[in-house]
Amino acid sequence: MSDLPNPSASTSADADAIVVGGGLVGLAAAIAVAKTGLQVIHLAPPGPVDNRTSALMMPSVEFLRSAGLIEQPEALGHRLSEIRIIDATGRLIRAPETLFEARESGLEAFGWNFANQRLLAQFRTRAAELPNLETRRLGVAEFAFEAILPELTLTGGSRLRAPLIVGADGKKSLIRSAAGFRARENGFTQAALVCDLELTRPIGGMSVEFHYPQGPFTLVPAGDNRANLVWIDDREVLRGAKAGGAERLIPIFQAKSQHLFGPITLATPAHVFPLSTLSVERAGFRGVVLVGEAAHAFPPIGAQGLNLGLRDVADLAAVLKGVATTNPSWAEEVSKAYSDRRAADLARTGGMVDALFRSLLADMLPAQAMRSAGLWALKLLPGLRRQAFSLGMGIR
Ligand SMILES: Cc1cc2nc3c(=O)[nH]c(=O)nc-3n(C[C@H](O)[C@H](O)[C@H](O)COP(=O)(O)OP(=O)(O)OC[C@H]3O[C@@H](n4cnc5c(N)ncnc54)[C@H](O)[C@@H]3O)c2cc1C
């Protein structure tokens, strides 16, 4: 940031920017915005423990390193160097079994798999090192566009104002609805069951996806013989299986993983996440920007959600670097520039995941044929495979 404004000089602002939401994207955004030199208040009320893991593709890992959010990925996560896709649909037209290797694209890894808790702890350490970033463990109860500045009423009743508001408050974002962003949301009857498994045979650096008609069953390497499971299926099926505890789950896991990994034990309790898609018409206006799941959500296939959220943060930081904060309408300009800059990536990624998810579930023969032909083409054509991975990895 070239010219730093004094937040309390000509207005009654409490900070230059207020970031709302203490998830991974909110924390990354608070740090990235503070690193541009602005005075930042981060509102991060305590929430439920996030026991998911995130596969982050190499561009996201590079961003985390360049933004000083992490140092070496090997200190925190597990390398993803191969992806194996097994068509277990039993359909008339099936896809070939396909193995994608990172080294074929000249890469050491497609990405890294991190426990969200470990990333959160690492980001909090970084946030605490920044003198211009103040964290408050309070949530937002109300948002309003006041005459001069947007104003937040906090859960304790106090009020805060800032020219720039960053909504990182997740799928049910209060900032999104109260600021009047137009959003489209669709719920699915499918959900995702997530837990950690101990396998008898090591999975190495390979992510294995079994594609079943009701949704994929994916094992992601989590070090030694451990794997993170993401199983997508009908919500009621998953709830029933979870309610039956390990006794019910283990035989299902053995069968769905086609007994490839020997006896399996449950390493963590299972959690079920409802699935939906959410998109916004634009990601910023009037000094308010949306990042992460406040702006976009989709089913966890192809590891896209947090990767896209980190690209939001990278673009927000890039827009802030080019802005002269001496201009009284700088925050309004930032929100407009951010919205323009994010539009293509949000549309492309949302469309890609939606199409992939629907093709996995489609019962119609033409859709099955197209998916199968697509995987054959990817299997046989190295150039196409490299292009597909560039798209999936979010290489820009
Ligand atoms: C099963 C599953 C597996 C996934 N795996 C991957 C993966 O492998 N790779 C990948 O890239 N993505 C993955 N994702 C997606 C990824 O987890 C999300 O995109 C990411 O966690 C979203 O982070 P966020 O900070 O935007 O939202 P959240 O983590 O939902 O954080 C929102 C925060 O806002 C806070 N908040 C809410 N309301 C308020 C308020 N009024 N005031 C203040 N704070 C508020 C909440 O307490 C919360 O802390 C997966 C998702 C699921 C469901």
369 versus 60: the higher-pLDDT residue is: 60
Distance CA(247)–CA(254), nearest Å, equals 12
The whole-number pLDDT of residue 352 equals 83
Is 292 close to ligand 1, i.e. is its CB under 6 Å away? yes
Say if residue 346's pLDDT is above 80.
yes
Q: Residue 106 carries which DSSP code?
A: T
pLDDT in tens, 36-95: 999 999 999 998 999 899 999 999 999 999 999 999 999 999 999 999 989 887 665 556
The pLDDT of residue 8 is 41
Select from 260, 268, 257, 249 the least CA-distant residue to 201: 260
More confident residue, 386 or 246: 246
Mean pLDDT of the chain: 89
Any idea where the domains of the chain sit in the sequence?
Answer: 1-82+114-189+277-396
Ligand 1 pocket member 287 (CB < 6 A): no
Is the model's pLDDT at 2 over the cut of 50? no
Beta bridge partners of 280: 183
C-beta 273 within 6 A of ligand 1 = yes
How confident is the model at residue 214, as a pLDDT? 87
Strands across the sheet containing 77-80: 53-57, 111-115, 77-80
Cα of 326 from ligand 1 centre, angstroms: 34
Q: Is the CB of 23 under 6 A from ligand 1?
A: yes
- Say which residue the tokens 């997740």 belong to: 170
Q: Would you say the CB of residue 168 lies under 6 angstroms from ligand 1?
A: yes
Report which of residues 384 and 359 the model is more confident about: 359
Q: What is the percent of the chain where pLDDT is above 70? A: 86
Mean pLDDT, residues 341-352 taken together: 93
Give the separation between CA 325 and CA 327, rounded to whole angstroms: 5
Q: Which CATH architecture has domain 1-82+114-189+277-396?
A: 3-Layer(bba) Sandwich (3.50)
Biggest CA–CA distance in the chain, Å, is: 70
Please tell me the chain's helix, strand, coil percentages from 3-state DSSP, rounded to the nearest 5: 35, 30, 35
What pLDDT shows up at residue 133? Answer: 98
Q: What is the pLDDT of residues 136-187, one digit of tens each?
A: 999 999 999 988 899 999 999 999 999 999 999 999 999 999 999 999 999 9
- Greater pLDDT, 81 or 378: 81
CB of 307 closer than 6 angstroms to any ligand 1 atom:
yes
For ligand 1, atom 39, name the residue with the nearest CA.
Answer: 169
Rama region for 391: left / alpha / beta (φ>0; ψ in -120 to 50; rest): alpha
Contacts of 104 (CB under 8 A, 6+ apart): 382, 385, 386
> What is the percent of the chain with per-residue pLDDT over 90, rounded to a whole number?
70
Of 116, 176, 306, 311, best ligand 1 pocket probe by most atoms within 8 Å of the beta carbon: 306
Strands (E), 44-158: 53-57, 77-80, 82-87, 98-101, 111-115, 133-136, 140-145, 150-154
Checking if the pLDDT of 350 tops 70, the result is yes
Written as one string, the DSSP assignment of 355-371 is HHHHHHH--SHHHHHHH
For 267-313, the pLDDT digits (tens) are 999 999 999 999 999 999 999 999 999 999 988 887 789 999 999 99
Those residues whose C-beta lies under 8 Å from the C-beta of residue 110, and which sit 6 or more positions away, are: 57, 58, 80, 81, 83, 100, 102, 389, 393
**What are the structure tokens assigned to 189, written together?**
């009857």
Does residue 29 have its Cβ closer than 6 Å to ligand 1? Answer: no
The answer to whether residues 284 and 335 touch, using CB atoms and an 8 Å cutoff, is: yes
> Which structure tokens are listed for 105?
């694209």
Residue with tokens 């053995």: 254
Q: What confidence score (pLDDT) does residue 87 get?
A: 83
Task: Give me the pLDDT at residue 1, please.
Answer: 42
